[in-house]
Every structure is written in structure tokens, then in C-alpha cells.
Structure 1
Amino acid sequence: MSDDQELRRVLAAQLAAGGHPRTPPWRAAVEAVPRHEFLRGGFFDRIDTGGPTAWTPVMPDAPLWLKRCYEDESLVTQIAGTIAPRDIRGEIMRSPTSSSTMPSLVVRMLEDLQVEDGHRVMEIGTGTGYSTALMCHRLGDDLVTTVEVDAEVSGRAGAALGACGYAPHRIVGDGLGGHKDNAPYDRVIATCGLVTLPTAWIEQTRPGGIILATLGGWMYSSELARLSVHKDGSASGRFLGGQISFMLARPQQPPPLGVLPDLDHGEERETVLGADLIQDWDARFFAQLAAPRAQRISLDRDGRTEHVLIDVEVGSWAALTETSGRWTVRQGGPDRTWDDIEQTVTAWRDAGSPSISEVQFRVTADAHTYWVDEHPALRWEHPRT
């Protein structure tokens, strides 16, 4: 048995001990697919310097490269939209834009997708191609369509897939539009984060089919959602839990903040709830339901930290400061962003702080609607823009 075969076997056993894979076909796929072949271009290691996050490349000639490929961790493979590990010597301080997702999450999502023999699957976000290969092993090449917006990323994935003997339908394009030529699909799975679920995915999934995607907002609290598609062209479901997040789909990234509003002017009041509440993942998720297009930043001004929420598209903002344990908010623009958040989070707490997995939702061509059963105050409708 070669080194990588043993590493695959050990990885499969470790993942199974952690709860996924639960089923023999997916365990067999993990044991069969060589993850390192999808990381031949290297990956980036994170360096915490106390300041901005830095990244340094790890190439296949590094002593522990092969072993690292089979650890249960996500490995960044692209920085700033174009930069691969081979392009860097030393360190880079830019944001990751593509990665190889940790194997336990990959397998969990594939099992949550509830794939059966003969199902036709569309994957949004090819990435390195590792999850694509697992699906090809499980279903066969012809039943797998994978869509990647970045031609270079798709090309590297295609080379790795070919080296492993897999030949799915590999499409370069905007995954938010799906790929109608191979529709209808029985299953759709997305490895990018979303603010709005594309109607194209619903239209390209047969009634009774399943879509698995991560939904959230621009405060970056998100959860894995499983939706069933209905004959009327809608889809509904609920969140599965686990605090799952992915890089947002590039067309759904938040807009640039631009010039900040004058934060010294606006309606000011004391607030019972402070900005510290959105440090909690669940509370931030519910706050996000009240203000899905708000972005948050922190500013150091006049010797104090100001926590700012800005909805660029609407032009509304809220700035919160703490003095001697008391919070004050100033708000401006057409909406009162913090009033909406405060009302929602208060209602959520009054309802006993239900978990995100208790949230149900329905997606139509016109809106996303979210609710928690038996709590009329916990209902939100977000029209498509």
C-alpha cells in the first residue's frame, strides 16, 4: 500500500469516527480519491502576526505537504482572485478567494444532499475538484455537472480530475445561472456562500429534488440550508445547523463601502442591546434577518471604538458606542437599522432564543421568507432586488 493510500484509509476512518461518512458508498469514495492530486499546485498557510492576516505558500516539495493534504482542514488555494501558491515567495496579506474545503464538511454536505444511485447532480463551485471527484466516484462521470466561475481554477481542477480518471461535465461560467443544458437535476449543491438563492437553480431542479446551499448575509453569520423544490416553482426547507460558512459567491459580495456617512450626525438614543450581541453567531444571524444588507465595521475614533452598521444600497447606518457599560446608538438614512435589529433580537430572546435550525424558509421568484413556528414576531420577508 502506497503512502497516500494509507493516508486516505486513515482519513476515512477518522472522518467516520467523527460522524461522516455514515454510509459505505461515501466512505469508499474518500478511500478511493487521492486528495493530494487536487493540491498539486500547493496551498497557503495562515500566519497570525497580531496585525493583518498573512499567508505563505506550501508547495509539494515541502516535507509535510503530503501529510497535510490528508488532514481534516480547509486549505486556501487562491488569494485575491488570481494569486496561486506558485506565484508567491514569502508572504502576502490579501483575502482568500478559493480553497479546498475540509474533508469532513465535504462529506457531511454530500450525505446531507441525500444522493441516490442514478441521481443527476449539479455542483456550484468546482474549486480544486476534490468534491467533484467524490461525486464522480459515487455516481459516475456523466451524472455530475460542475460549474466554476474562474477559468484558471476550473482548468487546474480539470487537470487533477483527468489525472485521477474522472471526466464530469465541467463548465466555466457564473454558477448562479446554473447550467440548463444538463437540467433537470435531482440534486444541486453549492460550495459558495449566498445571500439570495438563485431562481435558476430552482428552475433547473426537478420537483421533489433537493438544493443544498449556505445562506446568510453580509454580517457573515450563515448556515447550511436544505430545500425541497415544488411544482409551483418555489422551494422550501430549513437550516441544518453547525455554523457553516463559505466564501460568498463573487456576484453576491457586498458592495464597496465608499465614503462613509457623517457618523457624528443622526438620531441618538440609549440602547438596551449593544454591539456586543452580534459577537454571538446565532444572535448575529437573527440580526441579519432584520438587516440582511448591512455590513459591519469597527472604527477607532477619539479614543473609543465605534461599531458601525451600514446598508450601502439603502443609505442607512447605525453607529454604536459604549461608555461606562452603557450603549448609545446614532442612526441615519431612510431606515433605522438598529431599531429593526433590536426589535428582532428582543423578540428572539423573548421566544427563548430558538436555534437557527428551528428557522424555516420559503424561496420564490419574488422573495425569501423566513419564520419560526409558533412565534408570529419571528417572521421576515426579503423581496428580491
Structure 2
Amino acid sequence: MGVRGIPWAWVRETEPGGLIVATLRGWLRSLGLVRLTVEDGRHATGRFIAADPAFMMARQQEAPRNFGMLPGDDAGKVRETPHGPGLLRMPDSGFVAQLAMPNARTFDMTADDGTVQTYVLDAANDSFAVLSRDGAGTGWKVREGGPVSLWAEVEHFLALWHAAGSPAATAFGMSVEPDCQRVWLDDPEDGPSWRLPVMPGA
């Protein structure tokens, strides 16, 4: 069973020094298997020990069935991007993209002119990114709208990841507190970090 974040009840009910082993999943993909040590009933810290295990999402944490209204063809601003949607399907870059967009889902749709567009929609704030080939067919362009520039977030965190040597998922760790869950790279204090959705303590 995969979870988007660690339910707080798991931490609260585990004795200090006890272990929590869970598969973290997002709505885009699986993140990996994480092993956490509960420190004092208020904190848990650990690292990913395996990447991309195939577990179904826990039912109460599944994505909403309705995608909502799709952005119109003239919504948002268009720009070039060095990254196409293929990175979402790759194990390591997909891991980083899921961290950058924890509430996003994606699907492909064929436009009226026959070209395939990849939609990325954020279920929390209605932000969107639509990826398609550029006019020459050799590069990519993205059309973004909403309060958060989704694909710009991906580009930013990919740059940080590449600067660190493009490490595998096992270089990442996780810290869990009552009101904050973070995935971090290399060092929990000084490394780049990403916030995960806080799960209610059921």
C-alpha cells in the first residue's frame, strides 16, 4: 500500500527507536520505499532504501476522480522549455518531478491538428502546464497558467538535482513532524528539500 505522506498516527503510536517502513507515492508516480526511525514520538527521520516499488495507493489517498475544467487553448503563457514530458516517466527525473509537483496529475490528449499534448494539472490550486512540440518539431514548449508555474518548479528542482550529480532516490531522506513532512537530498538541514502533503492522523 502506498501513501502520499506518513499518517501522523503511525508516528504517534510507534515507540521511540521503532521503525516505520512505507512506500511513498504521488499522483504522478511512486517515489520509493522509505525507512524512518521514530525519535521521541514527535519526530521521525530516515532515508529511502529502494526506488519505485509497485504498490497501489491507499484508497483514502487516491487522486480525485474528476480532473475538473481543462484550460482553454488560449489560457496561460507559452514559452520554450528544455524538458519534455518524457522526464515524468523516467525513474530518477520522475522522482524529482513528483516532489516538485506533489498535487499534480498528468495525461496526454490529441489536439485538433493531430499533435499530442501532455497536460499537467494541480488538484490543489488549479495551476496547469501543457507541453507540446515546438514549431520545428525538435524541441518543446510549455503553456502555463494558475497561481503556480508548475513546469518552472520542475525545471528549478531538476537544476538542483543535476547540480548535485543527478543522484538516485537512495540519496534522499525524509523528516516527519506533526505539521511538516519533507523529503531532502543528502542532508536534512542544509540540502535541498521538498514539502509533502501532511496526512491526517487516521
TM-score scaled to structure 1, two decimals?
0.48
Deviation at 1:199, TM superposition (A): 0.2
Deviation at 1:201, TM superposition (A): 0.8
Deviation at 1:209, TM superposition (A): 0.6
1:243 pairs, out of 52, 56, 64, with: 52
Structure 1 residues 238, 263: CA separation in 2 closer, same or farther (over 3 Å shift)? Answer: farther
In the alignment, the residues of structure 2 paired with residue 206 and residue 360 of structure 1 have an alpha-carbon distance, to the nearest angstrom, of 21
Deviation at 1:263, TM superposition (A): 4.2
Task: Report what 2:100 is aligned to.
Answer: 290
Count of residue pairs brought into register by the alignment: 194
Structure 1 residues 201, 374: CA separation in 2 closer, same or farther (over 3 Å shift)? Answer: closer
Alignment of 1:163-202 (within 5 A): 192-202=1-11
Tell me which amino acid in the other structure corresponds to 1:329. V
Task: Report what 1:380 is aligned to.
Answer: 194
**Does residue 231 in structure 1 map to residue 40 in structure 2?**
yes
In the alignment, the residues of structure 2 paired with residue 289 and residue 374 of structure 1 have an alpha-carbon distance, to the nearest angstrom, of 16
Q: For the Cα contact (< 8 Å) 1:366–1:383, is it kept in 2?
A: no
Task: Report what 2:139 is aligned to.
Answer: 326
Task: Report what 1:57 is aligned to.
Answer: none
Alignment of 1:68-217 (within 5 A): 192-217=1-26
Task: Report what 1:337 is aligned to.
Answer: 150
In the alignment, the residues of structure 2 paired with residue 359 and residue 197 of structure 1 have an alpha-carbon distance, to the nearest angstrom, of 16
Deviation at 1:374, TM superposition (A): 5.8
Tell me which amino acid in the other structure corresponds to 1:350. A
In the alignment, the residues of structure 2 paired with residue 298 and residue 364 of structure 1 have an alpha-carbon distance, to the nearest angstrom, of 36
In the alignment, the residues of structure 2 paired with residue 252 and residue 374 of structure 1 have an alpha-carbon distance, to the nearest angstrom, of 28
**Does residue 306 in structure 1 map to residue 117 in structure 2?**
yes
Structure number with bigger Rg: 1
Structure 1, unaligned stretches of length 5 or more? 1-191
In the alignment, the residues of structure 1 paired with residue 2 and residue 94 of structure 2 have an alpha-carbon distance, to the nearest angstrom, of 16
Cα deviations by residue, 1:344-378 (Å, 9 ceiling, x for unpaired): 11211121101100101101111111211269563
In the alignment, the residues of structure 2 paired with residue 336 and residue 193 of structure 1 have an alpha-carbon distance, to the nearest angstrom, of 27
Deviation at 1:276, TM superposition (A): 1.5
In the alignment, the residues of structure 2 paired with residue 207 and residue 340 of structure 1 have an alpha-carbon distance, to the nearest angstrom, of 36
Task: Report what 1:142 is aligned to.
Answer: none
Task: Report what 1:350 is aligned to.
Answer: 163
Task: Report what 1:41 is aligned to.
Answer: none
Higher RCO (CA < 8 A, seq sep 6+): 2
Greater fraction strand: 2
Tell me which amino acid in the other structure corresponds to 1:367. C
**Does residue 278 in structure 1 map to residue 88 in structure 2?**
yes
Tell me which amino acid in the other structure corresponds to 2:81. T
In the alignment, the residues of structure 2 paired with residue 215 and residue 358 of structure 1 have an alpha-carbon distance, to the nearest angstrom, of 15
Q: For the Cα contact (< 8 Å) 1:195–1:216, is it kept in 2?
A: yes
Task: Report what 1:127 is aligned to.
Answer: none
TM-score scaled to structure 2, two decimals?
0.90
Tell me which amino acid in the other structure corresponds to 1:317. F
Tell me which amino acid in the other structure corresponds to 1:320. L
Structure 2, unaligned stretches of length 5 or more? none
Structure 1 residues 348, 291: CA separation in 2 closer, same or farther (over 3 Å shift)? Answer: same
Secondary structure of the residue aligned to 1:349 is: helix
Greater fraction helix: 1
